[in-house]
Structures are given as C-alpha cells and as structure tokens.
Structure 1
Amino acid sequence: MKIVEIREKTLPISSPIRNAYIDFSKMTLSLVAVITDVVRDGKPVVGYGFNSNGRYGQGQLMRERFLPRIAEAAPESLLDESGNNLDPHKIWATLFKNEKPGGHGERSVAIGTIDMAVWDAVAKIAGVPLFQLLADRYGKGQPNRKVFVYAAGGYYYPGKDDAQLKDEMRSYLDRGYSVVKMKIGGASLDDDLRRIDSVLSILQDGQRLCVDANGRFDLDTAIAYAKAMAPYNLFWYEEAGDPLDYELQATLRNYYKNPMATGENLFSMQDARNLIRHGGMRPDRDWLQFDCALSYGLVEYLRTLDMLKEHGWSASRCIPHGGHQMSLNIAAGLGLGGNESYPDLFQPFGGFPDGVKVENSYVTMPDLPGIGFEGKADLYREMQALSA
C-alpha cells in the first residue's frame, strides 16, 4: 500500500469578529487530503485534516517543503511493521527531515495539518474510530466515550451590545453547554467587567464562565484584571499575557488563586515543557490548551503528554484549543479533560458530527471510522470536493 497523492486547498473562514489581538476578516485555513491506494467499499481511503482558526493556511509551505519529501520517499518506508497500514511516526520523521530544531511557528501548523489527515487515514484503514485506535495503542484500551466540551464565543463584533452578548451565551446554554467562554482585553477593564457581569447574570446553578484575553496584557494589566475578577469564581482566566512570557504567567499566580489556562500558542513539546518548567502553572487547578493541529500534530502531542507525565501532570488537565474533531478523538482516546467547541463560528470546520448532542457540556462519541468527518455533511462536502 502507499500514499498516492496529498492535496491542499486554502479556504476562507473570514468573519467580522475580533478578539483582543486580531480580527478574522482575512482568516484562512488549509484543508488537506491524503489519498491512499487502499480500497474500502469500492473507494480509495482518504484521510482529511485542517488547521485550527487563528493561524493561516499553509499551502505554499506544504508544497515547497513538506509534500515533496513524502513524494520522494520510498513508499515502504512510510508503512508500519505489518506493511498493512501507514506509520504516522515514520511519516512525521520524513516531513521533518532536514529541519533544524527551534523556530516552530508556521511549519508546525503545516506539519500538524498533514499529520491530522494521516491519522484519519490510518484509523480508516484499520476500520475503527481514531479514539479507539488511540486507546488501544497508547491508553488502556477503554476510551472515554463521553467528552467534556465548552462553548467558545463572546467575540467583539461591530455593533454588538451586552444584550446581544447575553443572547449568544443563552443560545449555547440552550443547546446543552454548561460552560461558556467570552473574550476580554479588547475593551477597557470597566467595559469588560460590565460585559462579564452581563453574562454572569444569565448563568444558573452549575453553569460557569471562562474569559480569554488572547495574550493581550502586560503584567500590570494582567494583574489589574486578576484582582478585579477574583471574586467571580470563573472557570478559568485564559492567556493573560504573551504565550512565551513565562515570567508573566508565573508572577500572575501570586495575584490570582482561581484556575488559569494557556498553551494554545505553544507549538512544540519543547515550548510546552518551558511553560511547565518556568510558567508557574499549577497541576491541581490550571488548564493546558495545546492544540495538535497547530503544533506538529498528534505525533508531537504524544511527546508532550509524555513530558507532562514526567513533570507530575495528568492528561486530564489538557483541554485543547481549536474546536475540531481531531482533539475530540484525542480527548476520548487518551483521557484529556475535554475539548473546545465553536457551535456557530468557523463553519463548517467547527462542531460535531450530525446528530451528536451536547448534554450538560458532554458529548458522546459516535462510532465513525477515522476522525469522523464523514458524519458532518457540510464539512464532508468540502472534503469530497478536494479529493474527487
């Protein structure tokens, strides 16, 4: 068996929304199809992948550097020991051939997107959901079929007032979420506190709010927000400062005793390890948001999970950024704490397979081969168009 072709298409996911740092008016992503010569039900097995929102499509980088390495490799060098399936670790090593360490920014997104498509193909060839394959290979064989999810939204939007913000959050609560997230840092502290109060006013018992500053604050501002939000008992205070400013994160813990979250903009095991070593993160309450689609894929994520275990962290403290089904499968298969969800944004790439319902902020994984993209009709139409 072999990889016949890998295709990429850059697609828009533009929107007038903004967070504290960027707007999404020109946002794109890369959609990738890994086409194999394995035939199931009369059709070639195709693995699909795409990168998370917040980073742009990487088609040019893929075509110039990474895809030629796969095309030039001997097909048998990319197979597992049985010779009956692809080996994601060997493929990853081929993609990374002749790359220097460090400098993880854009190439980590390109490799992570290809890696997602490879794992989708591997699980489909094996004829099992990816979460089951991961539980069998790297876990205890029993996946967590029920996965915690929270609804991410609350972006700044032209003309959006507090009433509209509350309506948005109510819509998530009505759909079964008990934890919702909103943006802060794109307005003044007083305005953000008013917005927070407006959302808290509609929450019932058992419902919680996260806030996300998207790395906007310097230390003084981060502390000012921490002191003002301390009485709110938020689910978490996310990415207060620059993601690589570990000293800021470590200092902030002295002013904020409630849970904090960060990590979505760390794109390698080494950067994640520096956060654990130097960022003052607390394994009894804080949350880690590393996103495999942006950080070299699942092959690298497995290394990150090994590192966390060595440092006394549980995988259950990881709730990845991105809102995609790849991380949902990893959460179910490897025991992560849950996954982000975009019920309305970045469609058709966000959300779950059709018919999957959110109940008290949990979803039950369906029995779909691979990552399960085929179960989401609007998304699968885009994927089929690429691989046809």
Structure 2
Amino acid sequence: MSVRILEVREVTKPIASPIANAYIDFSKMTLSLVAVVTDAVRDGRRVVGYGFNSNGRYGQGALMRERFLPRIAEADAASLLNAEGDNLDPERIWATMFRNEKPGGHGERSVAMGTIDMAVWDAVAKIEGKPLFRLLAERHGVAADPRVFVYAAGGYYYPGKGLEGLTDEMRSYLDRGYTVVKMKIGGATLAEDCARIEAVLRMLPPGCRLAVDANGRFDLPTAIAYAKALMPYHLFWYEEAGDPLDYALQAALAEHYANPMATGENLFSMQDARNLIRHGGMRPDRDWLQFDCALSYGLVEYLRTLAMLRDSGWSPTRCIPHGGHQMSLNIAAGLGLGGNESYPDLFQPYGGFPDGVRVEAGHITMPELPGIGFEGKSDLIRVMRELAD
C-alpha cells in the first residue's frame, strides 16, 4: 500500500532558561517543532513523525516555510517513497529539500533540514513498527545495543550560583545514576574556573569523571593557558576551547594538551567534519567527536559523516553527540556510537528519556517503542500532538 505525506507542520517553541555558558545566555532560546503527517495508520492511529532541533541554534520556521516545506509539498508523492512504495525514503526527501541549494555556507539551513529529517525518520520507523535504533541496525547489518552510555551536562553559570550550588547540582546527577558530569568554563577567570573544577572533583566518588566545556570562547593563548592548568585534573575531556571552525587552533592546542579533547557540535555538514579530521589535530585514540544530527542536516547527512570517519580511521565509538535528544540515542544504540549527551534538568520537555527509563551506572537501556520513542515521554508527546492534532 502506498504511503503519502499529507502535511508537514511546524511551530516555534520556547526553551528559555536563565542560564549562560561562556558565550551566550539562554534567556530567549527557541526551537522548531515539526510534525510530518502521513496517511499511514498503525494501531488505530495516524502515523505522525516528529522532530525538533537541539538547543543553541533557535527555531528555523522561516527557512522551513520559505524553502524546504514547499519543495516537499510540490514534489510528486511517489518521488518521496522507497522503491517498494510502502514507506517514505529519507534520502529522497532529503534530496528534494536540498534541490536548488548551493554547496557550502551551510548556516542555519542545516538546522532546518535536520529538524525535518528527524521527523521523517520517526515516521519511517513507526510505519515499519520498529524502534528506530533496531531499524538502523538492520539496514546497516550490525547488532543493535540498547544499552547506551550517557553523561549529564550542566554546570552553567547562573546568577548567584556559587560553589555550593554547583556541587549540589553535580551531586544530584550522581544520585540519578550518572558517572560522568560536565560543567562550563570560560565564563569566569581561569583562577575562578579552577576553583569551580576543584570543588566538583573533591566531591566526585571513585570511578566518576568530570568533563569541561568552554563553548568556543578562547583564543589560542587562553586555550593553552587553560590546557596547562587542566592537565593535572585528568578530566574526561576538554571541550571546544576555540572557535569551532578554527582548525589550526584545535591542532595547535593538541600539542599542549595530551589528555582527551572534544569538539564538533557546531560543525554542520560532512564536509566541515572532514575538515576537522583533516586539519584539526584530533586524535582517534583519545579524542571525542560531538556532531549533532539535529543541527547538521539530519541522519541522512550523519550517515555520510560516519562513512567519512570510518574511511579516515575513526571508530563510531569516538562519537558522543551533542544535544541530549532521543534521536541521537537511537543512532548510538543502532550504529554503535560511544554514547550521548543528556540534560537532566534543562530544555524540557524536549530533553531526557521516555518515562520509566533510568540511568544506571552511567547507562540507559532503550525501550522498545516504535519510531524515536517520543510517545513514551508523556510531557513531550503532549506538546507534539498539540501540533499534529
């Protein structure tokens, strides 16, 4: 039986919070929520695929309405389907959206397309009646692993938040089962940040680790100064010290910091990721890559990035995506990534896990829910169905 896209709906939603990292505050942060409405019916309900973009890049409704959604609506319906005609084809839909777009200069369009792409994959897996992670594993001939490493991201700068507030926050993550926690640096002086780091390290129990994130704030001298100060702490990683497109800075920093580094969340195409691998001095035996499909043209493009990494001698286990969303959790479980970011208390209801999923020893176990699993998170699916229904 043929499947059709009846409509694609989008809306801008607030995810504002009075927090800040070294570069931006989140007081006016938004995201785009998308619903791909199909004519397929499963378990007595119309199949709708949902998607949203990760925090940090704002909603992309204007781009969707002006370019990408009209291209889907104007396309011949059969051109958006797989060869059998019984499901949507994410690659064909991606190619339709990208029609008449010049290469390079990816900008915000990668976020708009990545959001729609997420909703398409959610619909595809629901139509097949399978969790997305199992569908991906089957299509790529690998074994799915429902157990996924997750770390807790937080430690933002907040008005009036001192060392006690920071350590209380990190302790709350440990109490919830996380073994790796992350905090922000670069929004204070080096001495102040070292005091914050040391306060967290003192309260971490054996076997638990701390990562730090500068959100691209530093020039090279500052990045090196921090590197020298951070070396004795033996951190889980030192993340995004400089501008994400300054590959020379990243390569130079590697000469001064022997411990693990992480970057990539603000690279939005396979080509940008390839330039990082070629020119950024990243080391496949210890460093981490944080490309986020929701910001970088979606899973269709992320698969190209994974292929490039394999060809460049990198294992997918070195990828721990940014964003804290269930789409990346499915990719991690289905394609063998190293894990996923998590925001236990922020950007709700879009972050987190389906109801009942708990973190145990730094890992979660994926539930067997069709699609990405949004229907298992009651506060999130309520917002999503408001758009679809």
Taking structure 1 as the reference length, what is the TM-score of the superposition? 0.99
Cα distance per residue 1:237-266 (max 9 Å; x no partner): 000000000000000011100000000000
Aligned to 1:68: 70
Aligned to 1:268: 269
Aligned to 2:354: 353
Q: 2 CA distance for matches of 1:234 and 1:382?
A: 38
Tell me by how many angstroms 1:365 deviates: 0.5
- Determine whether 1:116 maps to 2:118: yes
Matched with 1:220 is 221
User: Are residues 1:6 and 2:8 paired?
Assistant: yes
CA distance in 2, matches of 1:248, 1:138: 36
Q: Work out the percentage of aligned pairs sharing the same amino acid.
A: 78
Give the structure 2 partner of residue 301 of structure 1. Answer: 302
- Number of residue-to-residue matches in the alignment: 387
1:49 corresponds in structure 2 to 51
Gaps of 5+ in 1: none
Letter of the aligned partner of 2:55 in structure 1? N
The CA deviation string for residues 103-130 of structure 1, in whole angstroms up to 9 with x for no partner, is 1110000000000000000000000000
Q: How does 1:122-271 map to 2 (within 5 A)?
A: 122-140=124-142, 142-271=143-272
Partner Cα separation in structure 2 for residue 275 and residue 195 of structure 1: 30
Secondary structure (helix, strand or coil) at the match of 2:72 reads helix
Deviation of 1:41 after TM superposition, in Å, equals 2.1
Question: SS state of the match for residue 108, structure 2?
Answer: helix
Q: Secondary structure at 1:105's aligned position in 2? A: coil
Counterpart amino acid of residue 138 in structure 1: H
Once residues 39 and 127 of structure 2 are traced to their aligned partners in structure 1, the CA distance between those partners, rounded to angstroms, is: 10
Q: How does 1:307-346 map to 2 (within 5 A)?
A: 307-346=308-347
Partner of residue 85 from structure 2, selected from 83, 86, 101: 83
What is the alpha-carbon distance in structure 2 between the residues aligned to residue 104 and residue 183 of structure 1? 27
How many Å apart are 1:200 and its aligned residue? 0.4
Residues 128, 369 of structure 1: 8 Å contact kept: yes
Q: Which runs of 5+ in 2 are unaligned?
A: none
The amino acid of 1:284's aligned partner reads D
2: CA distance, partners of 1:317 / 1:335: 10
Distance 2:132 2:43 in 1: 19
1:139 CA drift (Å): 3.6
Q: What secondary structure, in the 3-state scheme, does the structure 2 residue paired with 1:54 have?
A: coil
Q: How does 1:90-105 map to 2 (within 5 A)?
A: 90-105=92-107
Letter of the 1:382 counterpart: V
Alignment check: 8 A CA contact 1:21 1:214 kept: yes
Aligned-residue RMSD, C-alpha = 0.4
Q: Kindly state the Cα deviation for residue 42 of structure 1 after the two structures are TM-superposed.
A: 2.1
Offset at 1:283?
A: 0.1
Aligned counterparts of 2:229 and 2:254: Cα–Cα separation in 1: 14
Give CA-to-partner distance per residue, 1:295-328, whole Å, 9 cap, x none: 0000000000000000000000000000000000
> CA-to-partner distance for each residue in 1:162-189, whole Å, 9 max, x for gaps?
0000000000000000000000000000
Q: CA deviation at 1:44?
A: 1.0
Instruction: After TM superposition, give the deviation of residue 138 of structure 1 in Å.
Output: 1.6
1:18 maps to which of 17, 20, 23 = 20
- Give yes or no for contact 1:139–1:334 (8 Å, CA) kept in 2: no
Q: Note if contact 1:178-1:208 (Cα within 8 Å) is conserved in structure 2.
A: yes
Q: After TM superposition, what 4+ stretches of structure 1 lie above 4 angstroms from structure 2?
A: none
